Amino acid sequence: MTQKEKMITRGQLFCFMIQAQIGVGILSLPFKLNEAAKGGGALSVLIAGIITQIVIILLWVLLKNFPGLNLFTICLKLGGPIIGRVLIIAYISYFVLLGSNIMFSAVEVLQRWILQSTPRWAILTLFSIMTLYLAREKLTVLARFYTLATVLFVPLILFVSYGLTQAHFEFMLPLLENGFWNVVKGAQESTKSMYGFEMMMIVYPLSEGTNKQKLMTISLASGFVTLLYVFVVSTCLMVFNSEQIKIMPEPVIYLVKSLNFYIVDRADILFLPIWAITLVCSIVSYCYAASIGLSVLFSRKSHKHFAPFVKIISFMIALAPVTPAGVHLFDTAANYAAYVFIAGLSMVLLMISLFMKRKPGGLA
């Protein structure tokens, strides 16, 4: 296969980034934002979207300085054979942890709503089989599947849109009821739900277009996710008042379940399987990234033989939390890891690359 055949198009890159970003967080985001920002939840999402765009631009600058290299090969370039491999192992651990956290959260939601009697290990096994089947494939195959799965956003948006028939805009007012500072604090919760844009550091060198075109595509994908989150959060805040949302851990599912479609008794039974396909894409992205990291670490051309190992580790990690304290610790560890590896370590790599670029013959 030629290098050109391995590249994904800008449209596929757009769909890939959308699927990587949208995950479990969208279901519970209105509940979390109601606690912090109340009616200003939509403003929190917009602030989070702006923060995400800034981070995307900074990551783009890093990638632009190393044409044709992904995150792992950049680590080797900047850190050398020893420190570089340590960084690769750290990033692999991060991708495995985030993928496990998404899979665990998805299973919890499914068990609460439609699979109450099904043991967790059985649902995790099904997710692992589905994601392993895809994660072993080349990026072009993933991109095609993600593009096809993007069509499923149409029924998801239509389900939520139907809730506008019961909307009361006054439920959101005043927008700054809890104060602007709490709106900013709500942006922190929103940012957690938008993780996945760091996948650009893996797929960027294998996508078509100039650097500016790639940045525009990734920014548009992040903008789409931000607007979708604003729409979902605003709809939930307008359908349910603040006191009602306080007792709804997943307001989006409550919204869909409460709707009367006449021919469908429980619309959430249709909504959740469609939403699960998006979750599969998100989990696959992290598994694929970790497998690519292992292939670079061990100097192998293909990542497909490392994907089963990644899925076994992810399965074991997702199976581990059994108590509320363990679940909270797992979720907290995943959130702090995202701060460290996206906002911390990646920015350190960027600063090192800019410093080396200024030195005569630094990155040549």
For residue 4, the model assigns a pLDDT of 44
For residue 363, the model assigns a pLDDT of 56
For residue 90, the model assigns a pLDDT of 93
Q: What is the pLDDT of residues 60-112, one digit of tens each?
A: 999 988 888 899 999 888 888 899 899 999 999 999 999 998 898 888 888 88
- CA–CA dist 346, 71 (Å, integer): 9
Residue with tokens 């370039």: 77
Report the SS3 class of residue 209. coil
Q: Is the whole model's pTM more than 0.85, yes or no?
A: yes
For residue 295, the model assigns a pLDDT of 92
Helices 211-239 and 25-36, axial angle in degrees (round to 10) = 60
For residue 202, the model assigns a pLDDT of 92
Average pLDDT over the chain reads: 85
Please report the beta strands in the chain, taking only residues with DSSP state E, as ranges in sequence order. none
For residue 3, the model assigns a pLDDT of 41
Q: What is the pLDDT of residues 296-348, one digit of tens each?
A: 998 888 888 899 999 999 999 988 877 788 888 888 888 888 888 888 888 88
- CA–CA dist 187, 46 (Å, integer): 8
- CA–CA dist 29, 41 (Å, integer): 9
Q: How confident is the model at residue 362 (pLDDT cuts 50, 70, 90)?
A: low
Tokens of 309: 């190992």
Q: Which of 83, 331, 339, 79 is nearest to 198 (CA)?
A: 339
Q: What is the pLDDT of residues 216-235, one digit of tens each?
A: 999 999 999 999 999 998 88
Q: Is the dihedral of CA 255, 272, 144, 221 positive or negative?
A: positive
